[in-house]
Amino acid sequence: MAYDLPFLDHSTQRRLNRQVSSLARDAGHITDLLARFTANARREGGHLAHDANGYAHDFADEAWHQGATAAKVLGKQALRAGRAVGKDPVPAVVAVAGLACLMALVTSAGNSSRRRR
């Protein structure tokens, strides 16, 4: 599903679409991995494997549902953020600058504590 976001340039829209699609694929991969786990548990046999199969299947279903929900929420949040940045980019610039300053402080604090030893 593609959205037309007139306040973002075409390449930014494509990048955002790829990121949301990637999240959806990752959720699908988790489901596939859990399905393989379920199949392996089924092959192992026994009562314990049967219980694990049920739990893994339930877990896989829930993971798939949560992944799809998260992808939808992230898509909506990305649209809202894009609109907000399109209307007034100053808060976004300030937030990025603040994050950069925080990261510089954190990384420099870690380096100075290593030098003292």
Structure tokens, 97: 């600058």
Residue 69 is part of which domain span?
10-88
8 secondary structure, DSSP code: S
Looking at every residue in the chain, the average pLDDT score rounds to 77
Cβ 23 vs Cβ 67: under 8 Å = yes
Length of the chain in terms of residues written:
117
Query: Domain for residue 110, yes or no?
Result: no
Q: Tens digit of pLDDT for each residue in 5-14?
A: 566 777 777 7
| Identity of the residue numbered 103 | M
Query: Does the model's pTM come out above 0.75?
Result: no
Is 63 a residue whose pLDDT tops 80? Answer: yes
Which contacts of 29-33 are long-range, i.e. CB under 8 A and separated by 24 or more positions? Answer: 30/60, 30/63, 30/64, 30/67, 31/60, 31/63, 31/64, 31/67
Query: Domain for residue 112, yes or no?
Result: no
Residues with Cβ within 8 Å of residue 18, at least 6 apart in sequence: none
Is 2 a residue whose pLDDT tops 60? Answer: no
pLDDT computed for residue 15 by the predictor: 80
Q: Report which of 60, 54, 52, 58 is spatially closest to residue 35, judged by C-alpha positions.
A: 60
Cβ 24 vs Cβ 71: under 8 Å = yes
Query: Domain for residue 113, yes or no?
Result: no
Q: Tens digit of pLDDT for each residue in 68-107?
A: 888 888 888 888 888 888 888 888 888 888 889 988 988 8
Please count the structural domains in the chain. 1
Query: Domain for residue 109, yes or no?
Result: no
Query: Domain for residue 61, yes or no?
Result: yes
Is 1 a residue whose pLDDT tops 50? Answer: no
Count of H helices and E strands in the chain?
3, 0
